[in-house]
């Protein structure tokens, strides 16, 4: 076995800072189009329904490509894969700013390419941090890393609208961001190492690097890892609720304001919905505070309870359910109280993002963490935020069809369709409680160098030959 791989502490923190900066740009890419959506629609002459497809194409390509990047990240150079992803999403974003109005389909195609590029980063970057840090350091670094999800999302809106207002041309919003991404690529190549898988756990490079398994063997291993399976279901419940809130909460708050007589009904487009701005700022603030609180609570509670991480996730989700319920029920009577409980619910939901990533890194063996991240992203989006906005709207429309056509009944229909989110988030809390029962056993297995190694039928002939050569070499060195 070779000596454990090591890296100076300052270099690890510099690498983490670079990865956090790229994560900021990653999520700015998610929402920069939303900041200039009306200009995009006018330029390409596309309807609201087709404009909604821009995000559908983006997320769809991300879902399809995440498992591919997870496979590559577990078997090839993660640094090279990350560099390719940045080149792909920045190049596609820059190219989309030069498309003529008659080629709107090409703009959709490039938007899908941006989603494909961002999938590489969302899948692989957390595994690199997992191999640079361990225990409390890992928890803190992941908390900072995931803070840039709400910050980047908010800055995407700001950059798109601010650049358009300053230049008078929305295309420049898509041209400035690639400049920042070019700097990110240079920093990635120069300052971010590609540590051996499991380096932070002080495992040998041969044990983790030479023996490989098939993708099917990795999936079977993850399917038997109950902590991973149950935490993935909990993440899916979180994604379902955050997806529904992110899409419908501004509309719900606007209609609640109309019911209270604080706002005139919107009878003609465009509608001046200031609740969108308020809700966006609220999401950024509660996201930052929630991620920090969740990570710090996990770090401190782990010192007295080894099952702290899933218990914190379960507690925050079970507490978020009544907060969201009260925010919905109180909206027709006390508008301010509805905002307060909605903010508390969002803060409690945000407590889990860094903690969930820490759970995954602690219960999955290093050799297939990329696949685990990709599978969790895919399941969370497909069963979570990809369908929850549509399902919420579908329930609301079904309720409205049976009621008189009035603004109050429209509001009540949307309010009652939201109630399903409170039950789903409670189910997510139950999944994390069950994950706590299996956590210690799965963590012990993940610390073993040969945990989850494939059966003989899953190992290729080269790996078996390499093992026999290593055994023969060891026997010759120990002989007379």
Q: What are phi and psi of 289, to 5 degrees?
A: -65, -40
Q: What is the dihedral of CA 347, 161, 276, 263, to 10 degrees?
A: 150
Q: What Å distances lie between residue 341 and 154, 321, 328, 334, CA to CA?
A: 21, 10, 9, 11
For the beta carbon of residue 195, count every other beta carbon within 10 angstroms. Answer: 23
pLDDT in tens, 97-106: 999 888 888 9
Give the pLDDT score at 448: 74
Cis, bond preceding 270 (omega within 30 deg of 0): yes
pLDDT averaged over consecutive 10-residue blocks of the chain (480 residues)?
A: 64 92 89 75 72 74 87 86 93 91 89 90 87 79 85 78 81 90 94 79 44 77 92 92 78 78 59 63 84 89 90 94 92 85 91 87 86 86 79 81 77 85 93 94 79 45 46 45
Give the pLDDT score at 303: 87
Q: How far apart are CA 455 and CA 373, in angstroms?
A: 23
Q: Is 291 exposed, middle or buried (0-12, 13-18, 19+ CB in 10 A)?
A: buried
Q: How far apart are CA 29 and CA 70, in angstroms?
A: 20
Q: Is 471 exposed, middle or buried (0-12, 13-18, 19+ CB in 10 A)?
A: exposed
- Using only the alpha carbons of the chain, give its radius of gyration: 24
pTM: 0.72
b/e per residue, 146-155, with b = 16+ CB within 10 A? bbbbbbbbbb
Nearest to 86 by CA among 158, 19, 160, 15: 19
- Sign of the torsion angle spanned by Cα atoms 471, 472, 475, 477: negative
HEC per residue, the chain? CCCCCCCCHHHHHHHHHHHHHHHHHHHHHHHHHHHCHHHHHHHHCCCHHHHHHHHHHHHHHHHHHHHHHHHHHHHCCHHHHHHHHHHHHHHHHHHHCCCCCCCHHHHHHHHHHHHHHHHHHHHHHHHHHHHHCCHHHHHHHHHHHHHHHHHHHHHHHHHHHHHHHHHCCCHHHHHHHHHHHHHHHHHHHHHCCCCCCCHHHCCCHHHHHCCCCCHHHHHHHHHHCHHHHHHHHHHHHHHHHHHHHHHHHHHHHHHHHHHCCCCCCCCCCCCCCHHHHHHHHHHHHHHHHHHHHHHHHHHHHCCCCCCHHHHHHHHHHHHHHHHHHHHHHHCCCCHHHHHHHHHHHHHHHHCCHHHHHHHHHHHCCHHHHHHHHHHHHHHHHHHHHCCHHHHHHHHHHHHHHCCCCCHHHHHHHHHHHHHHHHHHHHHHHHHHHHHHHHHHHHHHHHHCCCCCCCCCCCCCHHHHHHHHHHHHHHHHHHCC
Give the pLDDT score at 207: 38
Contact 251, 414 (CB under 8 A): yes
Nearest to 62 by CA among 135, 149, 123, 145: 123
Q: How far apart are CA 363 and CA 476, in angstroms?
A: 37
Contact 22, 75 (CB under 8 A): no
Domains and CATH numbers, the chain: 12-211 (1.20.1250.20), 213-265+273-448 (1.20.1250.20)
Q: Which two tokens stand for residue 94?
A: 């820059």
b/e per residue, 200-224, with b = 16+ CB within 10 A? bbebbbebbbebbbeeebbebbbee
Q: Which two tokens stand for residue 274?
A: 């200031």
Give the pLDDT score at 80: 92
Contact 205, 196 (CB under 8 A): yes
């Amino acid at each position: 076995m070779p000596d454990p791989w090591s890296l100076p502490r300052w270099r690890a923190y510099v690498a983490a800072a670079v990865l956090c900066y790229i994560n900021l740009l990653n999520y700015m890419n998610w929402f920069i189009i939303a900041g200039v959506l009306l200009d995009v629609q006018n330029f390409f002459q596309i309807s609201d329904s087709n404009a909604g497809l821009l995000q559908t194409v983006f997320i769809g390509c991300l879902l399809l490509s995440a498992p591919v990047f997870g496979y590559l990240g577990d078997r090839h150079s993660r640094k090279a894969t990350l560099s390719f992803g940045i080149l792909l999403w920045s190049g596609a974003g820059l190219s989309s700013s030069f498309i003529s109005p008659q080629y709107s389909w090409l703009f959709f195609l490039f938007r899908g390419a941006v989603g494909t590029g961002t999938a590489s980063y969302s899948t692989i970057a957390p595994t690199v941090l997992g191999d640079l840090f361990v225990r409390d350091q890992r928890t803190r670094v992941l908390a900072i890393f995931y803070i840039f999800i709400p910050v980047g999302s908010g800055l995407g809106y700001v950059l798109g609208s601010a650049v358009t207002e300053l230049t008078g041309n929305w295309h420049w919003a898509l041209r400035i961001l690639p400049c920042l991404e070019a700097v990110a690529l240079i920093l990635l190549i120069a300052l971010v190492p590609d540590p051996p898988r499991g380096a932070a756990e002080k495992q040998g490079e041969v044990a983790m690097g030479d023996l490989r398994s098939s993708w099917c063997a990795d999936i079977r291993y993850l399917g038997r890892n109950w902590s991973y399976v149950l935490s993935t279901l909990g993440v899916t419940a979180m994604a379902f609720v955050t997806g529904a809130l992110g899409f419908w909460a501004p509309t719900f708050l606007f209609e609640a304001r109309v019911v209270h007589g604080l706002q005139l009904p919107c009878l003609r487009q465009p509608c001046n919905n200031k609740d969108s701005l308020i809700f966006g700022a609220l999401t950024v603030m509660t996201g930052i505070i929630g991620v920090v609180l969740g990570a710090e609570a996990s770090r401190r509670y782990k010192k007295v309870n080894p099952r702290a991480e899933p218990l914190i996730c379960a507690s925050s989700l079970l507490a978020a359910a009544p907060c969201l319920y009260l925010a919905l029920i109180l909206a027709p009577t006390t508008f301010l109280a509805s905002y307060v409980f909605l903010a508390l619910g969002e803060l409690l939901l945000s407590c889990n993002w860094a903690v969930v990533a820490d759970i995954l890194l602690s219960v999955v063996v290093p050799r297939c963490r990329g696949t685990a991240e990709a599978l969790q992203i895919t399941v969370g989006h497909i069963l979570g935020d990809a369908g929850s906005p549509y399902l919420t709207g579908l329930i609301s429309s079904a309720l409205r069809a049976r009621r008189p056509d009035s603004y109050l009944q429209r509001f009540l229909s949307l309010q009652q369709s939201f109630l399903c989110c409170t039950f789903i988030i409670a189910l997510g809390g139950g999944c994390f409680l069950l994950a706590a029962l299996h956590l210690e056993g799965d963590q012990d297995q993940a610390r073993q160098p040969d945990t989850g190694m494939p059966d003989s039928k899953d190992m290729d002939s080269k790996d078996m030959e390499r093992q026999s050569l290593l055994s023969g070499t060891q026997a010759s060195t120990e002989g007379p």
